[in-house]
Every structure is written in C-alpha cells, then in structure tokens.
Structure 1
C-alpha cells in the first residue's frame, strides 16, 4: 500500500481548464485525462491525500460520479473551492483544514508531514524536520528543500508518492528560513 498526494484537480471547472491552456480541449477531456492519470498510479488499496480544490463549478451528482471512478482510499484537506458538494463525498474520514501525519518511505523510515491546501513559510514541526505539502498555487511557487506544491499543475496532473516528492525537495534550494533552521545563516 502506497500513500499518494495531490491537489487542485478542479474537476468540472471550465474557467480553470481554459486557463490551463492545455491539450485537454474541454472540461470533459480534462476530467477524463485526470481520472486516467490518477488511476494509472493509484491502486484500489492505496491512500490518496487530496489537499483541496477537488472540484469547482460541478454539480453534486457530477462530483459523486468522478469520485466513484477514482482508485484509492481518499482523504481531503479542504481547499477554498471545496463546498458541501465536495465535503459531503464519502471520504475515508471527515475532511480537515490541515493534517499532521507520519508516512514511512519504501525503506520504512518515517517522514513527518504537514498537509495544507495553502503554502506556509513556516508550519508545525518546521524546526523538527517536518516536511510541508500544499496545493493552491498551481505551480507558481518553486519547491524548497522542505516544502512543495502537490497540485495537479505541478505534478503532471497525477498524484505523486512520497519518494517522488522527497526527491523534488532534496533537489530544491534552501529557502532563507530553511537555512536558518540548519544554522547556515
């Protein structure tokens, strides 16, 4: 069983699809592509943390139909577009505003994570090597050595596993606050 992370899928969101200037062509094409990419990496027994903005502008029946087609045990950290039509979907647990959890990597090493829809400059556990995953920015903020955007725009429109996200963070430069935390400033 693998844990995956994603955000900002924006299922049913015509204005966003138009702004993504992609080859998706239409809302239906966008949504079908994201569903296919999700299911290509996520198995039914895997866990997916969705860090907000699951859908926007879509009806309750449409949200439920998309949700039912996505593999995995799904959990939600609420985003700014997640209204009742999203909050009332059958998530594995009730949606939360943020989450702190520990996830083991492939070697069994534990990694502490702080999950939020919004990016933070500092977060709970920052000084104790807790990593931060967020959405909301649609790939507009660069990764740092301790935080990264897991939104669809920043992740080839598919959920990513912990190893991939840690590799992205390891390849990123230190932000000033991260330098101070490591005693490099």
Structure 2
C-alpha cells in the first residue's frame, strides 16, 4: 500500500476550468482527465489524503459519482470549497480541518507530516522535523525545504507519493521563512 497526497481537484468547477482552458476544453474533459490520471497511479488498496477543494459548484450526485470512480481509501482535510455535499461523501474517516500524521515513504523511513488545505508559515512540529503539505495556492508559492503544495496544478493533475514530495522539498533552494530568518536551511 502506498500513500498519496493531492488537493484542489475542483471536480465540476466551471469557473476554474475556464482558467485552466489551455489544459482542458470543458468541465467534463477536466473531470475525466483527473479521474484517469488519479486511477493510473492510485491502486484500490492505496491511501489518498485529499487536502481540500475536492469539488466546487458540483451537484451532490456529481460529487458522489466522481468520488465512487476514484481508486483508494480516501481521507479529506477540508478546504474552503468543501461544503456538505463533499463532507458527507463516504470518506474513510470523518473529514478534518488539519492532521498530524506519520507515514512511511516506501523505503522504510517514517516522516512526520502536518497536513492542511492552507499553507502555513510555521506549523506544529516544525522544529522537530515535521514536514508540511498543503493545497489552496494552485502552485503559485515556491516550495521550501520543509513544505510544498500537493495540489493538482503543481503535479501535472495527479496525486503524488511521499518519496517524491520529500525529494522535491529536499531540492528546494528556499528554506521556510522561520529558518531563513535564523540563517538555517
């Protein structure tokens, strides 16, 4: 079993798809592409943490239909667009506002993570090596050596595994603000 992370799928979100017009011709094409890319990576026994904005503006029926087509056991960290039609989907556990978890990266190393829809300048466990994963920004904030955006816009519209996220953070040239101000990386 592999654990994946994603955010900002915005299934059924016509205004967002208009902004993504260069990538997707319609809401239907957007949703179909994201489902196909998700299922090409995530197996039925894998786990996915969705860090918010599963959908926006879609009907309950559309939310349920898309959710049912996605592989894996799914958990939600609530985003600003996640209303009852999303919160009431059959998530593996009840949706949360944020989460502190420990996950193995597939190579036997355990990583402490702070998950939130929103990027934080500092977070619980920051000085004890906890890494931060977030969404919301649609890939407009630079990665740091301890935090990055897991949203669809940042990862070619597909979920991403932990080892890949850690490698991207480790390669980031920018340190989190609190570390940089103290002259640390």
* Interval containing the TM-score (normalised by the shorter chain): over 0.9
- Superposed CA deviations along residues 99-138 of structure 1, whole A, max 9, x for unmatched, are 0000012221110000000000000000101000000000
8 Å Cα contact 1:102-1:112 kept in structure 2: yes
Give me the whole-angstrom Cα distance separating, in 1, the residues matched to 2:154 and 2:23. Answer: 16
CA positional deviation for 1:180: 5.2
Which 4+ runs in 1 deviate beyond 6 A? none
Quote the residue 1:137 is aligned against: 137
CA distance in 2, matches of 1:156, 1:61: 26
Q: Equivalences for 1:102-141 in 2 at 5 Å?
A: 102-141=102-141
Counterparts of residues 18-57 of structure 1 (less than 5 Å): 18-57=18-57
Q: Superposition RMSD on alpha carbons, in Å?
A: 1.2
Q: Distance in 2 between matches of 1:19 and 1:122?
A: 30
- Show structure 1 runs of 5+ residues with no match: none
Taking the aligned partners of 1:179 and 1:101, their CA distance within structure 2 comes to 25
Aligned residue number for residue 66 of structure 1: 66
- Once residues 164 and 109 of structure 2 are traced to their aligned partners in structure 1, the CA distance between those partners, rounded to angstroms, is 15
CA contact (8 A) 1:138 1:154 kept: yes
- On the 8 A contact 2:3/2:161 being kept in 1, the answer is yes
TM-score between the two structures when normalised by the length of structure 2: 0.96
Alpha-carbon separation, structure 2, partners of 1:100 and 1:175 = 18
Deviation at 1:10, TM superposition (A): 0.1
Q: How many residues align?
A: 184
Query: Deviations for 1:16-35, whole angstroms, at most 9, x for unmatched residues?
Result: 00112333100000000000
> TM-score under structure 1 normalisation?
0.96
Is 1:8–1:138's contact at 8 Å kept on the other side of the alignment?
A: yes
- Distance in 2 (CA, whole Å) between partners of 1:152 and 1:106 is 22
Q: Tell me which residue corresponds to 2:91.
A: 91
